[in-house]
Structure 1
Amino acid sequence: MTSQPAQTESADLPDELAASGRTRVALVFGGRSEEHAISCATAASVLRALDRERYAVIPIGITRDGHWVLLEDDPEPLEIRDGRLPEVLDTGRQVIFPMGGRDHLLRLVEPDGSVSRLGEVDVVFPLLHGPFGEDGTIQGMLEMADVRYVGCGVLSSAAMMDKHVMKLIFAAAGLHVGPYVVADDLSWRRDKAAVLDAAASLTFPVFVKPARAGSSVGVYKVDRPEDLEAAVDKARDHDPKVLIEQGITGREIECAVLQGRETDAPRVSECGEIVVVGEGHEFYDFEAKYLDESSVQIQVPADVPDTVRAEVRRVAEVAFEAAGCEGLARVDCFVTSAGEVIINEINTMPGFTPFSMYPHAWAGSGLPYPELVDELLQLALARPLGLR
């Protein structure tokens, strides 16, 4: 984005956006994080789901180097196909976002420098995953611009993006968190041996994760203490802050959460489980999630006892409220053979791809994908601006 240009601008809207009576929705996707491609795939699914008779859609892609560009209302280039990961390319059609005050207009700067109006936007659906989007940055920008948006606010987005801060909040709320050690940048550079000594208290295998990433980017399973240092160094290529988590023997059971309508009390979906069945995947890694569809099975409802189902759903509700979430989130738990429920993490902008648990969980709970997207937009439109 750039500051507002001084050139003379045209008031003409593109034909597909000029029709009156529809809610104007800006989908924002792509972005500067390593989850750029997954954000594009999420946008493709949402584009297919939106009812064009109710919504005028403005697809805004953010390139890997941070340029905001207007794209065609076409999901196909944004889909994962035959192992090809999609990418937002710079079209030269730069979108200028309003920065609050009386001016709420989106503007478009063409490659020749001419400026036109895209009109005001009613609500933004920020389909960004990872840093520079899901972490409170775009949420803060939209708050400054007095523009409504789907999903969690600044604080919950930022806090839940950092797995260390997330665990501290969950523990304070009385939820059971698995053992872990933090390898932040300063500690690792100043006294690497002390971090490794602390991690020696964990039971192997452990999982090494970038603290502020998702989609299993940069996650490594480590079976032996002598391999831990190298795994942390590799994870630091993605984020200078790294978590070393003790592996939990058990099943991963997930719930989707939606903000309530009248009471704001969270609504929790049926429990779901993703089972890795393909060879070559020790855990639910990036390739299993997005590139090898045959390697996973999504089961909703998960085949768990009623007592476990009730506890996982309770944990999801407590986590949603403890984090101060709004709109939506997905909560992931481990369930041990003894039936103990241990919270793993919460995702404030879960994936909406055809392989994603969040829409599957709601579909299995009686809320189909198009209705889910509509529900999220209506929740955002009903939410007040400013402090709340």
Structure 2
Amino acid sequence: MNEQQESRPRVRVAVVFGGRNSEHAVSLMGAGSVLAAIDRTKYDVVPIGIAPDGRWVLAPDDQRFEIEGEQLPSVNDTGTALALASGGGSLVALDAGTIPESLGQVDVVFPMLHGPFGEDGTIQGLLEMAGVRYVGSGVLASAVGMDKAYMKAVLAAAGLPVGPHVVVRDRDWRLDRGRVLKDIEGLGLPVFVKPARAGSSQGITRVDDLDELERAVELARGHDPKVLVEAAIEGREIECAVLESPGDEPPAASLPGEVVVNDQHEFFDFAAKYIGSDMTLSVPADIPEAVSEELREMAVRAFEALGCEGLSRVDFFYTPSGGLVLNEINTMPGFTAMSVAPQLWAASGVPYTELVDRMIQLALNRPAGLR
């Protein structure tokens, strides 16, 4: 490195993780991988943890945030309290009994957050108001991608195939439960009952008997008062990752991969995803070339229908009749090096460290504000 390169200030990246929702631990695992992968010769890194109570703290930079047995990691809220000042993105230390102190500006935020109050457009709105660039999709795409009911409405309006489903809203469940149950019965059995605005398979139940339905809805309502009930789709689960391209190039789709879950799991649940090794990913998926091309094209259409940026993962069912049903799009997918989206890109020629760098560079080259 020459003297001119040494004197040039490095880009300052704040990696934000944790959050006050049931996906707190999943966020930390992804953040640990990102912190380990960021090129420290190019970037100064500031790790910021959001504690379960919503407090922002300066976090250690040397933690892997791994699951130990069945013990999930969590942000330690004893670190220096932080706030993000608007109008330039200056970090301010707020320790009790001391005068607030500026810790300098941040060039870009890498929000490794999942679920409500992070992946759903809330932190994206905060960063927009603060005038700070950030990795990933904007406010609207994040909000629509988080709310599975609106997501399916947007995808269907774009001409993409989605499965039969019923949206259970809080007021309807409380005041007109009989009609709601009748609507759900019309889907047939089995069905999957899930929170409308949650991820990582939290709060999901497969229902094979109508007597189990109310309990399943109440379980999902423990995560979100708005619930989505989907008719089970017979088929293989095929996933594809989409990455924003630089400049005016169209988004790029990865090779598709097939998720195969151990028989002891009824579906791709939290334990299969994060505890043990109960899931394998086969890349490229063993599907006809024409189906692969159609799936990749549909994944890009879904990405653009929501107005996504950065990286997204699009999940499909490949049915026995040879059709494709789009299940959902995830605007901030699991992001450890062994998560599905990074594995798909690694198999497509973009290794994890390069993927992390590319996402940061995409954010830096994107204008702040409306675009």
What's the TM-score once normalised by structure 1's chain length? Answer: 0.92
Residue 70 (structure 2) aligned to one of 59, 71, 83:
83
Work out which of the residue numbers 267, 271, 291 in structure 2 matches 1:283.
267
For residue 48 of structure 2, the aligned residue among 36, 60, 65 is: 60
Query: In structure 1, how many angstroms separate the alpha carbons of the residues matched to 2:165 and 2:35?
Result: 39
Q: Write out per-residue CA displacement over residues 19-41 of structure 1, whole angstroms, 9 at most, x where no aligned residue.
A: 96211000000001110000000
Contact 1:290 1:355 in 2 (8 A): no
Once residues 291 and 328 of structure 1 are traced to their aligned partners in structure 2, the CA distance between those partners, rounded to angstroms, is: 24
Q: 1:97 aligns with which of 61, 64, 84?
A: 84
Structure-2 separation of matches of 1:63 and 1:19: 36
User: Per-residue deviation at 1:226?
Assistant: 2.0
- Asked if structure 2 preserves the Cα contact closer than 8 Å seen for 1:208 and 1:222, the reply is yes
Match of 1:298?
281
Q: What is the alpha-carbon distance in structure 2 between the residues aligned to residue 224 and residue 104 of structure 1?
A: 52
- What letter corresponds to residue 81 of structure 2 in structure 1? Q
Aligned residue pair count: 366
Quote the residue 2:355 is aligned against: 372
Please say if 1:39 is aligned against 2:23: no
d(CA) in 2 for partners of 1:308 and 1:268?
Answer: 14
Partner deviation per Cα, 1:132-181 (whole Å, 9 max, x = no partner): 00000000010001100000000110111100000000110001110001
Q: Do residues 362 (structure 1) and 350 (structure 2) align?
A: no
Q: 8 Å contact 1:359–1:369 — kept in the other structure?
A: yes
Write the letter of the residue equivalent to 2:201: S
Kept in 2, the 8 Å contact 1:289–1:355? The answer is no
Residue of structure 1 aligned with 2:111, choices 126, 130, 141 = 126
Name stretches of at least 5 consecutive residues in structure 1 with no aligned partner: 1-17
Summarize deviations over 1:288-343 as a string: whole Å, max 9, x none: 110122x1111111111111111110110110010111111110011101110000
Distance 1:67-1:20 versus aligned 2 partners, 3 A rule: farther
Q: Which residue of 2 aligns with 1:197?
A: 182
**What residue in structure 2 maps to residue 150 of structure 1?**
135
Of 123, 127, 136 in structure 1, the residue corresponding to residue 121 of structure 2 is: 136
1:257 counterpart = 2:242: yes
Identify which of 291, 308, 312 aligns with 2:295.
Answer: 312
Name the aligned partner's letter for residue 356 of structure 1: S
Q: Deviations over 1:217-242 (max 9, x none)?
A: 00000011221111101111110000
Aligned partner of 1:108 in structure 2 is: 93
Q: Corresponding residue for 2:327?
A: 344
**1:177-205 C-alpha deviation (Å, 9 max, x unpaired):** 10001111011011111011011111211
Query: What do residues 28-86 of structure 1 show as CA deviations (whole Å, max 9, x unaligned)?
Result: 0000111000000010010111011111100000000000000111132x122322210
Residue 330 of structure 1 contacts residue 346 of structure 1 at CA under 8 Å; is this kept in 2? yes
Give the superposition deviation at 1:355.
3.7
**In the alignment, which of 208, 211, 221 is matched to residue 226 of structure 1?**
211
Tell me if structure 1 keeps the 8 A contact 2:59–2:79: no
Aligned to 1:176, what secondary structure does the other structure show? coil
- In structure 2, distance between residues paired with 1:375 and 1:162: 27
Where structure 2 has 5 or more consecutive residues not aligned to the other structure, the ranges are 1-5
CA contact (8 A) 1:30 1:37 kept: yes
Instruction: Give the letter for the 2:268 counterpart.
Output: Y
User: Superposition RMSD on alpha carbons, in Å?
Assistant: 1.4
Cα displacement (A) at 1:265? 1.2
Identity of aligned residues (%): 57
Q: How many angstroms does 1:92 deviate by? A: 3.9
1:107 Cα offset (Å)? 1.6
Distance in 2 (alpha carbons) for counterparts of 1:274 and 1:39: 21
Contact kept in structure 1, 2:109 and 2:133, CA below 8 Å: yes
Residues in 2 aligned to 1:116 and 1:53: alpha-carbon distance in whole angstroms:
27
Helix, strand or coil at the partner of 1:97: strand
Distance 1:384 1:264 in 2: 16
1:269 pairs with 244, 254, 262, which one? 254
Once residues 274 and 138 of structure 2 are traced to their aligned partners in structure 1, the CA distance between those partners, rounded to angstroms, is: 27
User: C-alpha separation between the residues in 1 aligned to 2:191 and 2:248?
Assistant: 41
After the TM superposition, which residues 229-248 of structure 1 pair with which residues of structure 2 at under 5 Å, given as runs? 229-248=214-233
3-state SS in 1 of match to 2:367: coil
